[in-house]
Amino acid sequence: MRKTLLFLCILAGSFGWAQQTGSISGKVVANNGEGLPGVTISATGDVLPKPRSTISQASGSYRLTALPPGNYQVTFTMAGFGTVKADVVVRLQGDSDLSVTMSTETTEEVMTVQGALPLISKTSTEIKASFDDDIFKELPLGEEYRDMMRMIPGVQVTEDSIRGPSAGGSGQDNSYKFDGVDVTLPMFGTLSSEPSSHDIAQVAVVKGGAQAVNYNRSGGITVNTISKSGTNEFKGEISFKMQADSWSANEERETKSALVGETDRSWLTASLGGPVVRDRLYFFVSYYAPEYERSNRSNSYGELKDGESNRDEYFFKFTFSPTDSLTLHASYRDSSRDSYKLNYYANSAPTVSSSNKADQTIAILEGDWILTNNASMSFKYTNYDLDTFGGPDQILSVKPTDAADATIDIDNINMMGSVSLANLRDANEYGLFNQYMAPILQKYGWLDTTTGQYMAGTVGAYATINDQDFQRKSFQVSYDHYAAFGASEHTFHVGFKTSKDEEDLYRDRNGWGYVSFLYSDFQGMPAGDYSYEELAGIPFIQAEYLRKTDAGNNSIVHSEYKAMNIELNDNIEWGDWNFNIGVLLSKDTLYGQDLKNDSNALSGFVESLGSKYEMYEIDWDKMIQPRLGALYRINETDTAAFSYAKYNPVASSLPRAASWARNYHLLRRRVFFNVFGEVIPDLSYDRSSSSGKLFVPDMTPRGIDEYMVSYNKQLPAGWTGKFNARYRKAGHFWEDTNNNARSRFGDSANLEGNSAEPPSNTDDYIPELNAYREQIGSGSSYVIAELDGAFTKFYEVGANIEKRTADWYLNASYTWSHYYGNFDQDNTAYNNDLNIFIGSSIIADGAGRQIWDFKYGNLRGDRRHLLKLLGKYNLFWNATVGANLFYQSGQPWETWNVDVYREWTGSSSSTYRFAEPAGSRTSDAHYQVDLTYTQRFTFAERYNFELKVDIYNLTDNQTGYNINPYFSSSTYAEPRSYYAPRRFKLTAAFKF
């Protein structure tokens, strides 16, 4: 097996295929319907400097490959036949079908055929959607890359700013590409915050039915875009967009919160493209500068400082065709963002603020080489960097210590860290606690004017200093070859891709970090033989900081994830059938820090500060991902298809989450102080789930099996209909969990109303764990394990109709889906719109959080009904109106209550501890209407001035979601988030 894979890697390394292109294919026939061999087919395009040509095969079939997406004119010539010209659009990752009939009766006449848009693929079983900028620029969408998800059929609409939409997987299962570069945040699976949409020419989305092309391992959707390019004509644009606070309705969020303020936004965009050398070298450059300002702010503590965010983004792209058969593309994107004081909360003091910055670069070099009429090769090298820094605006001078005589300054507690105060409690039970807290609240709390009482808030400074840099380098090469064997025609594809994701992290806490005032039932403290009784009834203080070794001070934690992929695919045309037979093979290797691999050691590792070690390898035979499909052409326009695909997602946080470096640089240490600020001896402890972890050997990686059937039909009056049914099942989820979780917490499966069964295997995941930890000298009692029986299922039935004319465009879709299971990556924290560890979240952490603890049910990403309607209409007075309407079901939620699991834990945290089956309740459904109007003024033939107004959420329907599930909270069952209110945005643009 290894020798075979090595041979394929070498073969693939000799050839290449580019994913940022499309193709034109079809058949040339004579009047009698017989295929015409030897016809010369030549394509010229606005973004292709040199024409591209081929010759039709014996059957009359032809294929023009590796074409940059854009508008093309295709010319068919042959001696003795009339010349035929056809206009056609090439879509990103799409194949445009263009078949023509050539006649001998018009040898001197040139006929022009307007090629229809390739809405129905006759060669692919993939569920796809694609849009050109002449469509989405006329719709009321936002300015960022993630806003484009709103128009994709069958993909939920989300207001989250970090997590992605759910469409068959979690919000961390999607893959996002910008010019073919994977801009998914390394190790977290979310969308990088920087990509924007201002210079996107086309967007293509694959929801399912993937072939073994483009290295698709996504557990959700795969989104790809291609940027605009220069042409033989100079074209430019400058625009300014503005959204003032006064143009927005009052926010429901602010009416229920003490945090208020005014928000003003603006966006400046400029671009220019054209020839450097006509018909040979094109350029395109752009500039993007969004600004965000928050002013006149206040919260429970009073007035707050103004905040702002400024960004500058530059983009350069060159397209070069030295010959008719060779095209090279090179581009560079540089984005820099600075944000100041944007993170205030309703009940935090003005000093608890932070600022951050992010610098992102994307470099690409790629080439396409047409070897013969039947073969092409390409290469692509990409380098993606995202460097971020965030930290407190007030740096505290106090340094935490683990010394026996450590103290915390009670009289100046606001200079000790990020301090969470505590409200007064029932006087009969907590008299001593109230007596102690009352003067502290009067000094540091905020005054509730309705009750006259001082209330708890957060004072001090922002807690975390975070310097986090990501990098992804990738190189891919592949080869495509077209060949005919008898009655069948084959398009062979072989490809190889290697990539390396890296993260460099320096993190520290400001002062003592997170400081809390607690009462003395000692909830949340570890089980042990401590004598708490003598402290009963006395308040105490908890501080949590990051403990570092002397050698680890100022150190950087380095993590790596390397992936190699080989894809083999054969697309077969045989009569009215098209078959796809492919397989994607993958090998992943995870690297951590501060151990060294040693085969002679009991555990296989020895401690070695600063060293990189291979923590786990997922070999080729563990990730064999078949891609099989069959498509039947019912007639000239209609198709029916079936496909099966397996996916092994590449996103994983384990290179850092399980790294031994966490023992030395990221270990969370809890220290407890009495009311005098003196450390309480013997009670300090390390958070065991935050330290380095060992892996259970020979695990099966997370995988998704997908089955799909579809029917596509050209409907009357020019409408196109696409209908599909899809089923996905995901399993073999990895998580960090207690090594003895199955024996220690299994009985909780027997709680009344819980449908889960206790684990049948109650053995420790790693029986030798204690011996391994002793040999290494450190390590966690948690391990990385494949959770028994963890799964998700997704059912989907969708319908999509579409029509485009010279004057209008309309796209309507309805999707019914059901997403359920017992493993919910989207529902693991108080605030889920975060970059949450994949493989090391709170799932399976202790009692009440195991997959048998009421976790079976509807998942947070489930949206049973989703209706989308979008379109535009060109008015006769040189104006356009556009609309985007959607309706979707509410968000599932359930009650969280730790008291249900009191038999197994003394913790006070209810987070992810369900008191009823998952998704037992649902928030309200939401509908929204967004509109846009664009007025154009043309002068001197080629100059245009545009005025545009966008109206979002026309009916101001601020539906609540993200329901508070904490049963003990005073706001239990109330929304914590709301859809954005009605707002207007104005745009002025000059184009030439």
Q: Where are the beta strands (DSSP E) in 519-657?
A: 540-547, 557-574, 577-597, 605-618, 624-633, 639-647
Which of 458-462, 551-555, 913-917 is the least confident region?
551-555
> DSSP characters for 262-273?
EEEEEEEEEEEE
- β partners of residue 62: 26
Query: With pLDDT > 90 as the criterion, what percentage of the chain qualifies?
Result: 73
Whole-number pLDDT of residue 142? 87
The three-class DSSP label of residue 40 is strand
> DSSP characters for 457-504?
-EEE---EEEEEEEEEEEEEEEEEEEEEETTEEEEEEEEEEEEEEEEE
Whole-number pLDDT of residue 12? 38
**174-179-185 Cα angle (round to 5):** 40
Which of 6-15, 66-75, 347-356, 495-504 is the least confident region?
6-15
Q: Which of the residue ranges 170-184, 388-402, 922-936 has the most confident prediction, judged by mean pLDDT? A: 922-936
State the alpha helices, DSSP H only, in 209-285.
252-255
Which is higher by pLDDT, 260 or 863? Answer: 863
How far apart are the C-alpha atoms of 220 and 216, rounded to whole Å? 10
- Mean pLDDT of the chain, nearest integer: 90
Whole-number pLDDT of residue 574? 94
pLDDT in tens, 736-756: 999 999 999 999 999 999 999
Cα-only R_g, the chain: 30
Mean pLDDT, residues 557-573 taken together = 97
CA nearest to 826, candidates 862, 852, 857, 791: 862
pLDDT in tens, 418-454: 999 999 887 776 777 888 899 999 999 999 988 999 9
Residue 292: pLDDT over 60? yes
Question: Residue 941 class from Cβ within 10 Å (0-12 exposed, 13-18 middle, 19+ buried)?
Answer: exposed
The answer for 442, left when phi > 0, alpha when psi is -120 to 50, beta otherwise, is alpha
**955-956-959 Cα angle (round to 5):** 115
Whole-number pLDDT of residue 739? 97
Q: How confident is the model at residue 667 (pLDDT cuts 50, 70, 90)?
A: confident
State the sign of the Cα–Cα–Cα–Cα dihedral 898, 903, 907, 911.
negative
Q: Which of the residue ranges 519-523, 687-691, 925-929 has the most confident prediction, judged by mean pLDDT? A: 925-929
In sequence order, what are the residues at sequence separation of 6 or more whose Cβ sits closer than 8 angstroms to the Cβ of residue 401? none
Whole-number pLDDT of residue 712? 96
- Structurally, what CATH architecture does the domain formed by 18-120 represent? Sandwich (2.60)
Whole-number pLDDT of residue 535? 44
Which is higher by pLDDT, 107 or 540? Answer: 540
pLDDT in tens, 253-270: 766 677 888 999 999 999
Q: How confident is the model at residue 526 (pLDDT cuts 50, 70, 90)?
A: very low
Number of Cβ within 10 Å of residue 79's Cβ equals 8
Q: Which of the residue ranges 335-344, 535-544, 724-733 has the most confident prediction, judged by mean pLDDT? A: 724-733
Residue 810: pLDDT over 80? yes
Contact indicator for 112, 85 with CB cutoff of 8 Å = yes
Whole-number pLDDT of residue 10? 37
Mean pLDDT, residues 683-703 taken together = 87
Whole-number pLDDT of residue 211? 93
Residue 109: pLDDT over 70? no
- β partners of residue 734: 786
- Residue with the two structure tokens 């009429």: 373
Complete edge-to-edge strand list for the sheet that includes strand 111-114: 48-55, 40-45, 70-77, 84-90, 111-114
State the sign of the Cα–Cα–Cα–Cα dihedral 225, 229, 233, 238.
positive
Contact indicator for 743, 767 with CB cutoff of 8 Å = no
> DSSP characters for 951-978?
EESTT----EEEE--BTTSTTTTSEEEE
Which of 210-214, 543-547, 706-710 is the least confident region?
543-547
Whole-number pLDDT of residue 19? 61
pLDDT in tens, 813-842: 999 999 999 999 999 998 888 899 999 999
Whole-number pLDDT of residue 932? 98
Going from N- to C-terminal start, the domains of the chain cover: 18-120, 230-387
Whole-number pLDDT of residue 538? 61
How far apart are the C-alpha atoms of 37 and 28, rounded to whole Å? 8
For the full predicted model, state whether its pTM sits above 0.75.
yes
Residue 529: pLDDT over 60? no
Q: Between the CA of residue 462 and those of 155, 161, 260, 355, 395, what are the distances in Å?
A: 36, 21, 20, 10, 8
Residue 193: pLDDT over 70? no
Whole-number pLDDT of residue 549? 62
Question: Residue 616 class from Cβ within 10 Å (0-12 exposed, 13-18 middle, 19+ buried)?
Answer: buried
Residue 677: pLDDT over 70? yes
Residue 359: pLDDT over 70? yes
Which of 7-16, 496-505, 668-677, 754-763 is the least confident region?
7-16
Residue 527: pLDDT over 50? no
Whole-number pLDDT of residue 404? 86
Whole-number pLDDT of residue 6? 41
pLDDT in tens, 871-907: 999 999 999 999 999 999 999 999 999 999 999 998 8
Whole-number pLDDT of residue 495? 97
pLDDT in tens, 373-412: 899 999 999 999 999 999 999 999 999 988 888 999 999 9
Contact indicator for 154, 207 with CB cutoff of 8 Å = yes
Mean pLDDT, residues 614-618 taken together = 98
